[in-house]
């Protein structure tokens, strides 16, 4: 059992597990701020993995999530002309896969990631399936964030400049989401970044020391990096300014 108010993993009280017809019934006590996580496997059964493609984008996932796959494909195809116009580059192909988070990944708040190679560039976009049930636009913001990494690489920025990659990914994912009508998710995410960045003031230069080796305490780095690109955009013309920049 995961308690959201404390971030702790707890053993649920009054836990009872029993068979009910052809199902397993789990009963336990919970808290108002908790969610029950159950790991299980079905012996002898493997998920039917399929690849769904639309344009230059493909999503690899279990067939039961076909609807989600098409949602992401439409999102990427709708956002691609906007991002391609801003960055002034084209992408050849982008592959997406959906993953079930480990408990550590869940507690860290990992929404998605793109592995990078200095020689071959960005790999698959990996999206955390846990966030399917969040507010409208939440998982879409994550998906757009990871797509922006592909564009930032394409215009020549190494992931070693992590503050540039993450700052742009945060800024452009929010702005593009708004253009696509995903206001609720965009506003929620921007509010969370704004709340952290306000506490930092204008002393944001520390982001230059942000490296990929750093695995914890990154909230301030994300917020500060976003704030830099947000401030420039607000002062000089938003996406049109960055279009001229690239």
Contact call for residues 139 and 72 (beta carbons, < 8 A):
no
Question: What percentage of the chain carries pLDDT values higher than 90?
Answer: 64
Strands 121-122, 125-128: parallel, antiparallel or unpaired by DSSP? Answer: unpaired
Q: Contact, 223 vs 193, CB < 8 A? A: yes
Output the pLDDT for position 166. 96
pLDDT at 241 over 60: yes
Tokens of 185: 């998710």
State residue 204's pLDDT score. Answer: 95
Domain boundaries, the chain: 2-35, 102-245
- DSSP for 97-112, please give it: EEEPPPHHHHHHT--E
For the chain, give the mean pLDDT.
89
Integer-rounded Cα radius of gyration of the chain: 20
Closest to 79 in 3D by CA, of 120, 125, 119: 125
Which residues, in sequence order, are CB contacts of 21 under 8 Å at separation 6+? none
SS3 206: helix
Per-residue pLDDT of 141-199, as tens digits, reads: 999 999 999 999 999 999 889 999 999 999 999 999 999 999 999 999 999 999 999 99
Residues 6+ apart with CB under 8 A from 48: 62, 63, 64
Comparing CA positions, the residue from 196, 194, 220, 198 lying closest to residue 209 is 220
| Most confident range, picked from 45-49, 72-76, 130-134, 183-187 | 72-76
75-129 tens-digit pLDDT = 999 999 999 999 999 999 999 999 988 777 877 778 899 999 888 889 999 999 9
9 alpha-carbon distance from chain centroid: 23
Residues in the chain: 246
Beta carbons of 131 and 94 less than 8 angstroms apart: no
């Amino acid at each position: 059992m995961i308690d959201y108010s404390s971030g702790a993993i707890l053993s649920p009280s009054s836990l009872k597990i029993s068979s009910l017809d052809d199902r397993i019934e789990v009963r336990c006590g919970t808290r108002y701020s908790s969610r029950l996580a159950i790991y299980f496997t079905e012996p002898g059964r493997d998920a039917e993995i399929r690849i769904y493609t639309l344009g230059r984008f493909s999503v690899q996932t279990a067939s039961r999530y076909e609807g989600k796959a098409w949602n992401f494909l439409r999102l990427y195809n709708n956002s691609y002309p906007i991002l391609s116009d801003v960055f002034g580059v084209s992408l050849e192909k982008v592959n997406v896969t959906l993953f079930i988070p480990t408990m550590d990944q869940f507690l860290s708040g990992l929404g998605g990631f793109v592995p990078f190679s200095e020689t071959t560039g960005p790999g698959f976009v990996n999206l955390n399936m846990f966030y399917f049930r969040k507010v409208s636009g939440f998982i879409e913001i994550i998906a757009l964030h990871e797509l922006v990494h592909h564009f930032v690489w394409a215009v020549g920025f190494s992931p070693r400049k992590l503050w540039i990659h993450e700052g742009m990914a945060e800024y452009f994912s929010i702005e593009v989401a708004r253009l696509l009508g995903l206001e609720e998710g965009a506003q929620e995410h921007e509010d969370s970044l704004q709340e952290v960045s306000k506490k930092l003031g204008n002393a944001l230069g520390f982001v230059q020391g942000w490296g990929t080796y750093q695995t914890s305490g990154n909230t301030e780095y994300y917020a500060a990096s976003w704030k830099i690109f947000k401030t420039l955009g607000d002062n000089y013309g938003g996406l049109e300014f960055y279009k001229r920049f690239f």
